[in-house]
Structure 1
Amino acid sequence: MYNEDIKVEAIHAGLETGILREKLGEIDIVSIGSNIYDVHTPDEHFSISSTVRTIEFLAEVLRQIR
Structure 2
Amino acid sequence: MQALQQYIARTGSVTVPRGHEEAVVIHGEEHAVKLGIWISNTKTRRAKLDQAQLDLLAGLGIHWAQF
The interval holding the TM-score normalised by the smaller chain is under 0.3
**Of Structure 1 and Structure 2, which has the larger fraction of its residues in strand?**
2
Q: Which protein has the larger Cα radius of gyration, Structure 1 or Structure 2?
A: 1
Which structure would you say has the larger RCO, counting Cα contacts within 8 Å and 6 or more residues apart?
A: 2
TM-score normalised over the length of structure 2: 0.25
